[in-house]
Structure 1
Amino acid sequence: MKIATTILSFVLTSTILFNSLSVSFTYGYYYLDTSDFIERLCENKDKPEMQCNGKCHLKKVVENNTNDDKLPFKYVNFKEILLYVVEPTKYEFVNSSSIKVQKINYNNLYAYSLAKAFDHPPQV
């Protein structure tokens, strides 16, 4: 059971990392090996007069990644949302003369003098 949980967490973590870093990997591949990138991924190989040099594919990758970010923002008016109800607290004051106070005497017979502990150096 623990091995399955570990494998599942590794797979999910690697999927999330690859998804978030895919654009970075594409740009890295473009800048490290531009000629191979153009040969494999350029969409306009038959039109060299456009001189896109693989930037057409880079633009497509960036647009695919940013399409999810362009969702409309949903405005929520927080003044209209009731999160919880607070009931007012009620305080009751008690007359102190009606409470009986019981006195307890406490004798502490313990005494410790710090000065006596350092009178002589420790002996070996």
Structure 2
Amino acid sequence: MKRIIAILLLIAIQLPLMSQWASVAYYQVNRNYIAKNLCENRDKPKLNCNGQCYLAKKLKAAEDKEQKTNSERLEKMPEIQLACEQMASLAFQITFSDFSEDHFSHAEMAAQSSILLPFHPPQCS
């Protein structure tokens, strides 16, 4: 059931993109009929149009429709206004002190370190 819903959603998302492909597929399948009956240049065989004018007209109409729907969506989209308030500035004073003193004895830490002890894996019960 989930797979069917996923396929239907995928088709629904891709459907607007397929409108131009559908026009081209329709032209390819019905090329002879379009050339004989629907072509604007069917009376002028020297042009070798073969219905390409009909295809161009359909593709242009599909593109215009898509642009119109996109512009309508943009007009209906709510306007988002971003505002930035100036924050109170904080003053920081950086002071450098002499860190040359060694507060830790590395030799003492190495002797107490657990790294020097052998590793024992946990025992299974």
TM-score normalised by length of structure 2: 0.44
TM-score normalised by length of structure 1: 0.44
* Structure (1 or 2) with the greater helix fraction: 2
